Amino acid sequence: MRRSVSVLFCAAVALGGCATAELRGTGDLGVIVERASGAVQVMDTTHRAPLARVTGLGDLSHASVVYSRDARYAYVFGRDGGLSKVDLLRGRLEKRIVQAGNAIGGAISQDGRLIAVSNYEPGGVRVFDAATLEAIADIPATFQNGERRSKVVGLVDAPDERFVFSLYDAGEIWVADFSDRRHPAVRKFPNAGVQPYDGTVTPDGRYYVAGLFGEDGLALLDLWNLNGGVRRVLPHYGRGEQKLPVYKMPHLDNWAMADGVAFVPAVGRNEVLIIDMRDWSEAGRITVAGQPVFVVARPDGRQVWVNFAPPNNDTVQVIDVPSRRITKILQPGKGVLHMEFTPRGEAVWLSVRDEDRVDVYATASLQRVGTLPVEKPSGIFFTARAYRIGQ
């Protein structure tokens, strides 16, 4: 019986070559970006083993990944404007286009049919068919009466076939409605804040939040009530004090929500800020080892893990959410760039760039339980992202 199934599968994939006929799901897979070699490794997170290495993806510094809704394909967004579709099961590059000169990331639409990419050069958002990567729409991020184009950051998907993003140079937030996919309706929110550097959406898809570099605070847009406009959250969190120099921009990846509060990196301060999710007021702050880059919550919200900008990028701190105390300081090695939890959070994978390693920690014991060789690893993205809004 078993053999006949694999023979059938083999016949089905005969065109693609049938090296391995083993059937498997993709729910426990992930992709790790090798930033300097233009490659990604496809990982099996159950056996903590590489399945394939896919090369030829271009400049992957600052690359990010989203997944098709069946979690079979990874869309890799490269710095050089490359958009690559990688087949996790066959371990190969399916298709690659170079859609701009300089890009920063992307998103997949609610229905999984559109891929949007945010570009620095030329500044704007371009949208592609997820199956074919054929161009669907182009939204130039123009401002000042069309005379300038802004770099675009913080692009996310949101319910009702929308993409939301921020214009770094213009200080605006735009909401693009793709209900009619060839004719997106764009609603612009000017004066959203000075130099938004990244953005994210809450896990329920309701609130879009942009981090601001040029002023203290975050910009908040309620996607259920666009007429309410953008409001400021945690204004003046720096209390007028001089900011520390920022040696690496923080990120807003998943919205780190736990126990009714959210944890966000402060800009130019060695602090993690806590926001009360009921009224968006400040609920406290935690002094940490350096300037936070990623502040990520374990899926159940019990812990928050923080990594840092240089020169503290050899350190990771773990915040215990109920007590809001740092309960563990780890020193995995130089250049800790990213952290990704397994879907239910029993483990977290850390990329340690300068040591060409990805380390796996058990979140209960906070001990290292595995390590994998990966060349200059940066982003780690597991397929559970396929089902999350805003990734």
Partner 1 sequence: MMKKGWVAGIATTMAVSCVAPAAQDPPSPARQHEIVRLLQQDCGSCHGLTLKGGLGPALLPQALAGKSPEFLRDTILNGRPGTPMAPWRPFLNDVEAAWLVDRLLQGKTDAP
Partner whose footprint covers residue 195, from ligand HEC, partner 1, none (CB < 5 to 8 Å by kind): partner 1
Residue selected from 73, 75, 120, 308 as contacting partner 1 according to rule CB under 8 A = 120
354 near partner 1 (CB under 8 A): yes
Q: Which does 162 bind (CB under 5 to 8 A by kind): ligand HEC, partner 1, none?
A: none
Whole-number minimum distance, CB 123 to partner 1, in Å?
12
Touching partner 1, residues 132-151 (CB under 8 A):
151
Among 310, 320, 329, 368, binds partner 1 (CB under 8 A): 310
Site for ligand HEC in 241-260 (CB under 6 A): 246-249
Please, which residue, 249 or 277, has the CB nearer to ligand HEC? 249
Residue number, 247 or 280, with CB nearest to ligand HEC: 247
Site string for ligand HEC, 204-243 (x = CB under 6 A): ----------------------------------------
Closer to partner 1 by Cβ: residue 100 or 158 = 100
Query: Which is nearer to partner 1, 129 or 354 (by Cβ)?
Result: 354
158-197 binders of partner 1 (CB under 8 A): 168, 195, 197
Beta carbon of residue 100, minimum distance to partner 1 (angstroms, whole number): 12
Is 245 exposed, middle or buried (CB count within 10 Å of its CB: 0-12, 13-18, 19+)?
A: exposed
292 vs 335 by CB, closer to partner 1: 335
Q: Does 294 bind partner 1 (CB under 8 A)?
A: no
How far is the C-alpha of 317 from the C-alpha of 7, rounded, in Å? 49
Minimum CB distance to partner 1, residue 79 (Å): 6
- Identify what 322 binds: ligand HEC, partner 1, none; CB under 5 to 8 Å per kind: none
Please report how close the Cβ of residue 213 comes to ligand HEC at its closest, in angstroms. 9
| Burial 306-333, CB ≥16 within 10 A → b, else e | bbbbeebbbbbbbbebeebebeeebebb
What residue number has its CB nearest to ligand HEC?
249
- If binding is defined by CB under 6 A, does position 194 make contact with ligand HEC? no
Burial of 244 (0-12, 13-18, 19+ CB in 10 A): middle
List the interface residues with partner 1, window 193-232 (CB under 8 A): 195, 197, 213-214
Contact stretch for partner 1 (CB under 8 A) within 58-66, 272-280, 325-333, 363-371: 58-66
By a kind-dependent CB cut-off of 5 to 8 A, residue 284 interacts, out of ligand HEC, partner 1, none, with none
* CB of 67 or CB of 168, closer to ligand HEC: 168
User: Under 8 Å CB-to-CB from 321, ≥6 apart: which residues?
Assistant: 258, 259, 297, 301, 302, 303, 304
Which of 190, 260, 284, 311 forms a contact with partner 1 (CB under 8 A)?
A: 311
Residue 32, strand partner residues: 41, 380
Q: Which residue has the tokens 């049938």?
A: 18
**Of 184 and 196, which CB lies nearer to partner 1 in the complex structure?**
196
Q: Binding residues for ligand HEC, per CB under 6 A?
A: 246-249
Q: Binding residues for partner 1, per CB under 8 A?
A: 35-36, 59, 61-62, 79-80, 101-102, 104, 120-121, 151, 153, 168, 195, 197, 213-214, 245-249, 310-311, 335, 353-354
